[in-house]
Homo-oligomer: A and B are copies of this chain.
Amino acid sequence: MELVSLPSEMRRIAEDLRRRDGTIAFVPTMGFLHDGHLALMREGRQRASVLVVSIFVNPSQFGPNEDFERYPRALQKDLEKIERIPADYVFAPDTRAMLPADTETWVEVTGVTRGLCGAHRPGHFRGVTTIVAKLFNLVQPHIAIFGEKDFQQLRAIQKMVHDLNFAVEIIPHPIVREPDGLAMSSRNAYLSPKQRNEALALSQSLFAARELSAAGTRDPDAIVQAARRVLDRSADIKLEYLEAVDWETLAKPSAHRSMLLAVAARVGDTRLIDNIALHNPA
């Protein structure tokens, strides 16, 4: 396994791999890896001859009052985890190598980024899509694996790839959860044991909604209400949004189409997100 830190070196390796007819799978991460990340890597490992993992905490997707500075980092531990998959290359560039101070080009997806997290984190998805476009150009993957926990991010990347004709196939990977249901997230490390327990209300609210949906209730408002009743039991959860949207477009939902129920909330200072697909059984 090779650690690559220079963008120019990553490009050279990718071009070499492409010439040798290798298929490249790519898993972009911000590091501080958990089993969710590792599941994406195992999927990539299976689907291609070469696996590239990137570790880059992208400042341009954090707002000015967000947690870029204190975002957890653990490169050595991350490398040990990736070694056990293993990946072939870990691309871990410096902040300034990936985002020089004179950067003035941005890739922006409108539409699917307007609601949900996009409404609460201005500039967030522009930062994500710009960095992912850069990573795609450097790593030149045939496939790239994205987790469904960041579902709106997944849809933004899919839209960018389609609209800009990137030659990359995007593979969504289901949310990986702790045994008690909490969606895995690097930010779970911020939680005290008490907060960790409170945070369970997020997934539990989604599971309650899924039960209702599975029992035949397809009215979006009724589904949201069911989820909200669970969240309301926890006084320490500050809800940012709880919304049912169309599973494909993230726009207004319709009872006869698959829906996504998505939630964002703060537990203490920690912002957590989760979601669940409510597929139309018809």
B-binding residues in A (CB < 8 A):
7, 11, 15, 18-19, 21, 100, 102-112, 129-130, 133-134, 137-138, 140, 159-160, 162-167
- The count of identical subunits is 2
* Nearest Cβ on chain B to A144's Cβ, whole angstroms: 14
CA distance A21 to B137 in the complex (A): 18
CA distance A106 to B105 in the complex (A): 10
Would B165 and A134 count as touching, CB distance under 8 A? yes
Chain B residues with Cβ below 8 Å from A167 are: 11, 15, 137, 140
Given contacts A105-B109, A108-B105, contact A137 B163 (CB under 8 A): no
With contacts A106-B107, A137-B165 known, what are 5 further pairs, Cβ within 8 A? Answer: A18-B18, A102-B111, A103-B163, A104-B163, A105-B107
| Sample of 13 A–B contacts (CB below 8 Å) | A7-B165, A11-B165, A15-B167, A18-B18, A19-B19, A19-B21, A102-B111, A104-B111, A105-B107, A107-B164, A130-B164, A133-B164, A134-B165
- Interface residue from B7, B105, B162 paired with A160 (Cβ < 8 Å): B105
Chain B residues with Cβ below 8 Å from A21 are: 19
CA distance A107 to B104 in the complex (A): 11
Would A159 and B19 count as touching, CB distance under 8 A? no
* Nearest Cβ on chain B to A38's Cβ, whole angstroms: 27
- Interface residue from B106, B110, B138, B159 paired with A165 (Cβ < 8 Å): B138
* Nearest Cβ on chain B to A225's Cβ, whole angstroms: 31
* Nearest Cβ on chain B to A11's Cβ, whole angstroms: 6
Chain B residue nearest to A21 in the complex (CB)? B19
The 5 closest A-B pairs by CB, nearest first: A105-B163, A104-B111, A137-B165, A104-B110, A105-B109
CA distance A7 to B162 in the complex (A): 11
Would A137 and B166 count as touching, CB distance under 8 A? yes
CA distance A15 to B11 in the complex (A): 17
